[in-house]
Amino acid sequence: MILENADGDQIDMSATALRYMMSNVTGLDPPAASVSTSTYATRNGCLLNRAFLEKRNIVISFEMRGIGIEARRHALYQVVKTAQPIRVYYRTSAIDAYADGIVETCEINRFQSGVSGQISILCPDVYFYSCKETVAVFGSTLSGFKFPFAIEEKPGVPLGTYRTEDTVEIINEGDEVGLTIDLEAHDGVVYMPTIYNADTGAYLRITGEIQPEDKITISTKRGSRTVTLTRNGVTTVIMNRWVSGNTWFTLPPGASHFYLTAVSGLKYLTATFHHTDAYLGV
């Protein structure tokens, strides 16, 4: 387990017993739900009003042994600062993930036999996220390689291949999560592109044109859902081009399939799907 502050400084809490040896960590399991209910006046049971996950609380208990404890204590304070952002990296044989939070407390018992301490971190976003982003590209052609290059063999190397599949497949190995989609036009104008979920029939359509070198970015992540247009280096919000009936796509666990259409210019359109696996428990 590694802690990293906003400046990129890190402390490895699981390095050796002569530095910071973790004795216990809580808050890695799915956080407890907050459940609101109302009682019935005339019968048994209750009415469920709502249930939600409020926050994650990661508590790291550790010990410091050996020489140089004073220097290591101050080194810890330089990274783990109360009321400041912190990123918690957690790795096992099966998962490599991180969670972002705020340091609530960093307390060290320096006047007892055997120096020990405890760090409490509150994470407003309850998910751990994979350190590896998954990217899937869908378009009329797939690139073969990048310049510069040299070709010596005959008859040569293809510059690209035409896509023959009708859909792009995205694998989500975590819990249900939103994604980011980039729509770009190359060598021509695309009019009214639409992305369909081939599994559910839901769609996401953007009105108007995408001009060459434009990039429309759609974020479907809860809490940051938006649609922006980047043109000539300037990014603007274009929710006015959002069509009634659109669906904010999410990726359930497993495979999801998407395909593209457009009123015109589909051959110039490229869609790039970005997502990061999210985990309620690690």
Q: pTM for this structure?
A: 0.81
The DSSP secondary-structure symbol of 111 reads T
What pLDDT shows up at residue 149? Answer: 58
What pLDDT shows up at residue 163? Answer: 42
CATH topology (fold) of 2-38+45-126: Elongation Factor Tu (Ef-tu); domain 3 (2.40.30)
Please write the tens of the pLDDT for every residue from 76-110: 999 999 999 999 999 988 899 999 999 999 998 87
CATH architecture of the domain with residue range 134-279: Sandwich (2.60)
Which residues neighbour 241 within 8 Å (Cβ) at sequence distance 6 or greater? 206, 207, 208, 227, 229
Residue intervals of the chain classified under CATH 2.60.120.860 are 134-279
How far is the CA of 54 from the CAs of 49, 124, 249, 250, in angstroms? 15, 7, 23, 20
CA 170 to chain centre: 15
Residue intervals of the chain classified under CATH 2.40.30.200 are 2-38+45-126
Q: Which two tokens stand for residue 142?
A: 């797939």
Q: Which residues of the chain have pLDDT under 50?
A: 141-145, 160-165
Parallel/antiparallel/unpaired status of strands 168-172 and 180-185:
unpaired
